[in-house]
Structure 1
Amino acid sequence: MEVDIGSAVTLMSNTEFRKLFGQIKMRRPQAILKTYSGEVLEQEGTVMVSVSYNGQHKHLQLCAVKGDGPS
């Protein structure tokens, strides 16, 4: 994955999500997500995940979006 400090949410394609997490149950999306150009992203769902980066540890929301594009 790529760290994007300008992104409001963490996204992953549903295809990649299923490879990594299998059939884990997701919550229904709570927000409408749009790209910088205004295109609406279709979401499959969200989960809370544990993230460690550069010595920091957080529980963050991960949104799985439809398709198989890059994370």
Structure 2
Amino acid sequence: MIDCAYCQRPLICDGCQTPYLPPSQEYYEALSRPEIPIYCPSCEQIMICHWCKTPYDVQGDEMEEGSEA
């Protein structure tokens, strides 16, 4: 099982409660790159950690940058 990069708990989709298992090595490596959105393979929504509610999407970083301007 993969741990959440933010809270270090098992990464479980908040929408469908499915543990995230990357379908390939490429998806696994994408977890460490915040510029690549991660989708739940089961419900196909943006992965949101069940525990800390952090979305694995690109918009979080863009919103922070936009708020500084």
Fold-level similarity (TM above 0.5): no
Higher relative contact order (CA closer than 8 Å, sequence separation 6+): 1
More strand, by proportion: 1
**Under TM normalisation by the shorter chain, which class is it?**
under 0.3
TM-score normalized with structure 1 length: 0.24
What TM-score, normalized to structure 2? 0.24
